[in-house]
Structures are given as structure tokens and as C-alpha cells.
Chain A
Amino acid sequence: DIVMTQSPDSLAVSLGERATLNCKSSQSVLSSSNNKNYLAWYQQQPGHPPKLLIYWASTRASGVPDRFSGSGSGTDFTLTISSLRAEDVAVYYCQQYYGTPSTFGQGTKVEI
């Protein structure tokens, strides 16, 4: 199975400041056939189910604010929250869907 490792485990950021979350896969999730990275990001607010933020490493899901952006390729990926808001307090997970089974990182907790 592809192992996904997120860093840091937790992150405290001031309101209005930038948050940078990292995700590393144990093997490349970049497809040579379509040049797409099979990587998604989710937000899980306390007491709620996960919510899709990003897929194909950088495509925002419908309704996701543009302060959330995804970048990276191959094995190294980043989720950036450009200006943190109080409602962004959550655990963020990356997921690879290149290999079977699909696997998730352990999560990064973002706090104010």
C-alpha cells in the first residue's frame, strides 16, 4: 500500500495568517499517461464528516473558498490556507487514489 505521511501533526496559526500543510507519499502518485497527480485533500471540522477540498492535487471542489489551494507533484504535496479564518480550525487529511487501496495520511490539526 502507498503510505501517506503528513507534517506537521499540528499547527497553530494566527487569524489572517498563512497555514502550510505538507503531505508526502511513499511512491509517486503522478500518472505518466495523463500527467495528473492522484491526490486529494479533505477538511474535517470537529464533530463533522470529512469534506472534500481539493482533487487532482490542485483542483478546488465546488464551493470551496479560494483561500484554499493545493500544489505539488510526484511525492510531495502542499495544502495552503492563504488567510486563516476561525472556521478553518479542523483536521486536514490528504488521500492518494493512484494505488489500490486508496490511503489517507494521519492528518494535520490546525488550531488558532
Chain B
Amino acid sequence: EVQLVESGGGLVKPGGSLRVSCAASGITVSNVWMTWVRQAPGKGLEWVGRIKSKSDGGTTHYAAPVKGRFTISREDSKNTLYLQMNSLKTEDTAVYYCTIDGSSGTFEAWFDPWGQGTLVTVSS
């Protein structure tokens, strides 16, 4: 069974930085495309960014609101995905979920499974 467990969320001031993690079991993170999706309190779902599998080049792609501020990476030895968030804004406050891209055969896909999420609060 594939399990994804996020950690590292917390309270950070505007302009600050935070790194959240997603530890995977039952799957090798370098072998799949993985995505971060966020959900602001009481709101809907927003795609944040993805990293391709190592065999597909390991490139990263980001949503416009976070491009240049957020960075997705992997640590293969720990089978863990990361989301480094810099220059945080109040509008980045959300639960951040990691998830795995489905095998759609195209750049975009459905997402399954999802971790339980980690809450990032940006406030002074």
C-alpha cells in the first residue's frame, strides 16, 4: 500500500521561508511524477507544482502564483519529496498535500493517493 506522510508545516511570518516534507512508503519517489496541491482554509484545491520521475528527466513545473518562490525536490536516499517555500505571503496559507500523478500518458493527470496534508500558516 502506498502511503504519503507530510510534515514540517507551521506558522511563519510574511517574507519568511519554510520547507515541508512528504515521506513515501510503498513506492519509490524517483520513479513517479509527484505533485503538491494546496487548499486554503475553507476553500478549494489548487495545483502548486510537480516533479517528473528521474527517467523522465526529473524536471519541475510550477503554478504561476508560486513560480520563482517555491522549489520542489527529492531526496532519494530518504524516499522523500520536499517543497521549499520562500518569500511567503499571507495568501500562501493553506494545507499542503503531496500526491502522485496518475498514468494519463500526458503532462497533466489525476492524483492518487494523497497524503494527509500539513498546514502552513503565514501571518505576522
Q: Contacts A50-B45, A106-B44 known; A97 to B104 CB distance under 8 Å?
A: yes
Per the CB 8 Å criterion, the residue count for chain A at the interface is 23
Contacting residues, chain A, for B110 (C-beta < 8 A): 40, 52, 55, 95, 97
Contact of B114 among A49, A98, A105, A106 (CB under 8 A): A49
Say which residue of B63, B109, B115, B117 sits within 8 Å of A97 (CB atoms).
B109
For B107, list chain A residues within 8 Å (CB). Answer: 100
Interface residues on B, range: 20 to 34
* Chain B positions 83 through 124: 1 when the CB is less than 8 Å from some CB of chain A, otherwise 0: 000000000000001000010101111111111110000000
Contact among B37, B97, B108, B112 with A38 in the assembled complex (CB-CB below 8 Å): B108
- Which residue from B45, B109, B113, B115 sits with its C-beta under 8 Å from A104? B45
Q: Which residues of B, 58-85, contact A by the 8 Å Cβ criterion?
A: 63
Chain B residues with CB under 8 Å of A102's CB are: 47, 108-109
- List residues of B whose CB falls within 8 A of some A CB: 37, 44-47, 63, 97, 102, 104, 106-117
For B113, what are the chain A residues with a Cβ–Cβ distance below 8 Å? 51-52
Of A49, A101, A105, most B-chain CB atoms within 10 Å: A49
Beyond contacts A55-B110, A95-B110, A106-B44: 15 other A-B pairs, Cβ-Cβ < 8 A, are A40-B110, A42-B111, A48-B116, A49-B97, A49-B114, A49-B115, A52-B110, A95-B111, A97-B104, A97-B109, A98-B108, A101-B108, A102-B47, A102-B109, A104-B47
What CA separation (Å) do A105 and B104 show in the bound complex?
Answer: 20
Q: List 15 A-B contacts (CB under 8 A).
A: A38-B104, A38-B106, A40-B102, A40-B111, A49-B97, A50-B45, A52-B110, A52-B112, A95-B110, A97-B106, A97-B108, A101-B47, A101-B63, A102-B47, A104-B45
